[in-house]
Amino acid sequence: MAKKKVAKFKESIGLDIGSHSVKMIHLKKQHDSFRLLNYEVKPTVPAGVDYTISDLTLDRFAPVISGMLRSMKINTKKIKHLVSSVGGDNTSIKQIRTIFLPDEELESALFFEAKKHLPISGSDMILDYQVLSVEEKTNNMNILLTSTTKDLLMEHSQILADAGLTPGIVDIESLAVANSFALNNFVEDGVYIILNIGAHKTNMVMYSPIMKFFARDIPWGGFHFTKDIMKIKDISFEQAEDFKIEHGLKTEEINEESKSAITLDISEKTAAEQIIHEVKRSLRFYVKEAGSSDFRKILLVGGGSKLIGLPEYIADHLNIPTELFNPFINLELPDKYRDQQDPQLALAIGLAMRPE
């Protein structure tokens, strides 16, 4: 979540290591804004190689990152502000409310408090927190707790080291997604729902300048859209990927029998239906917990968000205005990037804009 700190760095690198692709962005700090210097997106699986989940090992990332650093002409020894992220099952984030405690007591108290709220065991937990506000009347503190495991952080650090990078700030994906929105926009009151649709999961973030922060992972993404098309059309994964990119969720393009890419056997929900179902569950939970249903807009980011027809599909099923988010909206852009608005770079931009 956006922090009210002044960024002291002159240049920054945001590195989003996804299962399907790696996104890297290079920004320059200019007074109260940022200028885009360069960016690159590279797949983690070479063209022509079958994309099989069981074959996706950690050692595939470092060569991709090293190649991106060379092609972007970034000298690793001169990087002063590198921000990357971790996400998935071994990360947790939750906003809590507690009594006021001075700084010297807060960290130790929160470690014990975190055990009540976060699903990671104490011996494996690496905890961080941010004080969001102190209530004037009650003097209670609203705090955002984040945690990951030692093993996940070590794996992440090893990937960076193998690519020739010195690990810098490591953020939680949900916070970086929120930052890409909050640091790039004038945010009005109300709750904004950000869906970061990746290859294997959709990271859902509910952000408001005054209401409770909420984030969760939904275990369906772009890979599962492709698998649905494979089943319906009885084609290969590569053919289904091409079909998905060309037609998306445009039902009239599916086949002669007018079957939809989002309609399978009546007993089996598709990826699109699963995502809608889980978002509805989360919205009901949020209303109960936060006491607010002032949902202003759904913003789609991530590689899977570019699926043709997806914003309309989500808006129709949730009755909330839905659109692709442009993470470049307030960046100063060189001429060659003037029309850039790729939503899959939102996480990397949120990382690169993170204050120290």
Greater confidence (238 vs 205) lies with 205
* Residues 140, 131: Cα–Cα separation, whole Å: 11
Task: Output the pLDDT for position 39.
Answer: 94
Are the folds of 1-89+150-184+329-356 and 187-326 the same? Answer: yes
Instruction: Encode pLDDT of 263-316 as tens digits.
Output: 555 457 889 999 999 999 999 999 998 888 899 999 999 999 999 999 999 999
> pLDDT tens digit string along 61-75?
999 999 999 999 999
Question: Domain segments of the chain: what residues?
Answer: 1-89+150-184+329-356, 187-326
More confident residue, 67 or 260: 67
Band of the pLDDT at 258, cuts 50, 70, 90?
very low
Q: pLDDT grade, residue 22 (50/70/90)?
A: very high
Question: Please, are residues 65 and 163 in contact by the beta-carbon 8 Å criterion?
Answer: yes
Fold of the 1-89+150-184+329-356 domain: Nucleotidyltransferase; domain 5 (3.30.420)
**What's the mean pLDDT in 146-175?**
93
Q: What integer pLDDT is reported at residue 254 of this predicted model?
A: 45
For the ranges 28-32, 64-68, 176-180, 252-256, the maximum mean pLDDT occurs at 64-68
Q: How far is CA 272 from CA 16, 139, 311, in A?
A: 24, 44, 11
Q: How far apart are CA 4 and CA 240, in angstroms?
A: 45
Architecture of domain 187-326: 2-Layer Sandwich (3.30)
User: What is the reported pLDDT for 95?
Assistant: 87
Residue 80 has pLDDT above 80, yes or no: yes
Lookup: tokens for 333: 């852009």
pLDDT for residue 215: 92
Structure confidence at residue 238 (pLDDT): 86
- pLDDT score for 170: 94
Tell me, what's the pLDDT at 51?
65
Highest mean pLDDT, choosing among 40-44, 50-54, 103-107, 289-293: 40-44
200-235 pLDDT per residue, tens:
899 999 998 888 899 999 999 999 999 999 888 899
pLDDT band at 255 (very low <50, low <70, confident <90, very high): very low
Mean pLDDT of 18-40: 91
Higher pLDDT, 138 or 70: 70
Cα–Cα distance between 214 and 142 in angstroms, integer? Answer: 13
Q: What is the pLDDT of residue 316?
A: 94
The pLDDT assigned to 143 comes to 87
- Residue 120 banded pLDDT, cuts 50, 70, 90: low
- Do 93 and 215 contact (CB within 8 A), yes or no? yes
pTM: 0.88
The chain-wide mean pLDDT, for the chain, equals: 85
- Kindly tell me if the per-residue pLDDT of 112 is higher than 80: no
Asked whether residue 334 carries a pLDDT value surpassing 80, the answer given is yes
Q: Which residues contact 119 (CB under 8 A, 6 or more apart)?
A: 92
Q: Is it the case that residue 49 has pLDDT exceeding 80?
A: no
What is the pLDDT, as a whole number, of residue 225?
92
**Which segment of 29-43, 251-265, 284-298, 342-356 scores lowest on mean pLDDT?**
251-265
3-state SS of the chain is: CCCCCCCCCCEEEEEEECCCEEEEEEEEEECCEEEEEEEEEEECCCCCCCCCHHHCCHHHHHHHHHHHHHHCCCCHHHCCCEEEEECCCCEEEEEEEECCCCHHHHHHHHHHHHHHHCCCCHHHEEEEEEEEEECCCCCCEEEEEEEEEHHHHHHHHHHHHHCCCCCCEEEEHHHHHHHHHHCCCCCCCCEEEEEEECCCCEEEEEECCCCCCEEEEECCCHHHHHHHHHHHHCCCHHHHHHHHHHHCCCHHHCCCCCCCCCCCCCCCCCHHHHHHHHHHHHHHHHHHHHCCCCEEEEEEECHHHHCCCHHHHHHHHHCCCEEECCCCCCEECCHHHCCCCCHHHHHHHHHHCCCC
d(CA 190, CA 117): 25
Name which residue leads in pLDDT, 11 or 57: 11
